Amino acid sequence: MGYIEDLRKLIGHKCIILNGSCVIVKNKDGFILMQQRKYPYGKWGLPGGLMELGESTEDTARREVFEETGLTVGKLKLIGVYSGEEYLCYAENGDEWYVVTTTYITDDYEGIVTVNDDESIKFEWLDPNKLPDDVVKTHRYMISDYLKSHK
């Protein structure tokens, strides 16, 4: 059982602050790896997730990318840290949390993309300028900042 599950046993559904990391994984053609998620179902987002005890934001980013995609990530470059009212999340079971997300970019990765059936429907390499309508709102902010900084 992970840190968040243990914490929820103690506090129930109360609103808390959690830390996470996302990674914009970019291929040689400039496309980014997008995950069609199982939660929220069908939404597109960046690979990433919540921090476990003792992890750095970089450790979280690398672990989450590996768990979700099968890719091993090398060098990471910071895009930004995202927080605020628009980062309030709700789970179907009633859990509430604000997430503080550290977002990175990388083109340094190895492996073959594989789907973790627990978390993902599929992955696609997409043009960051032509994303589907159903992208997680907060991930749009991150991708927008990436596009502004990489013109």
Tell me whether the omega of the peptide bond preceding residue 40 falls within 30 degrees of 0, making it cis.
yes
C-alpha to C-alpha distance for 63 and 21, rounded to whole angstroms:
10
Token pair for 61: 């980013």
To the nearest 10°, report the CA torsion of 80, 69, 58, 56. 120
Give per-residue pLDDT as tens, 58-77.
999 999 999 999 999 999 99
Q: pTM surpassing 0.75? A: yes
Which H or E run contains 80?
strand 77-82
pLDDT in tens, 96-142: 999 999 999 999 999 999 998 888 999 999 999 999 999 999 999 99
The whole-number pLDDT of residue 123 equals 97
Amino acid at 132: P
d(CA 66, CA 89): 23
Confidence of residue 18 (pLDDT cuts 50, 70, 90): very high
Please state the separation of Cα 150 from the chain's center in Å: 20
Residue 1 has pLDDT above 60, yes or no: no
Q: What is the mean pLDDT of the chain?
A: 94
Q: Does the pLDDT value for residue 92 go beyond 90?
A: no
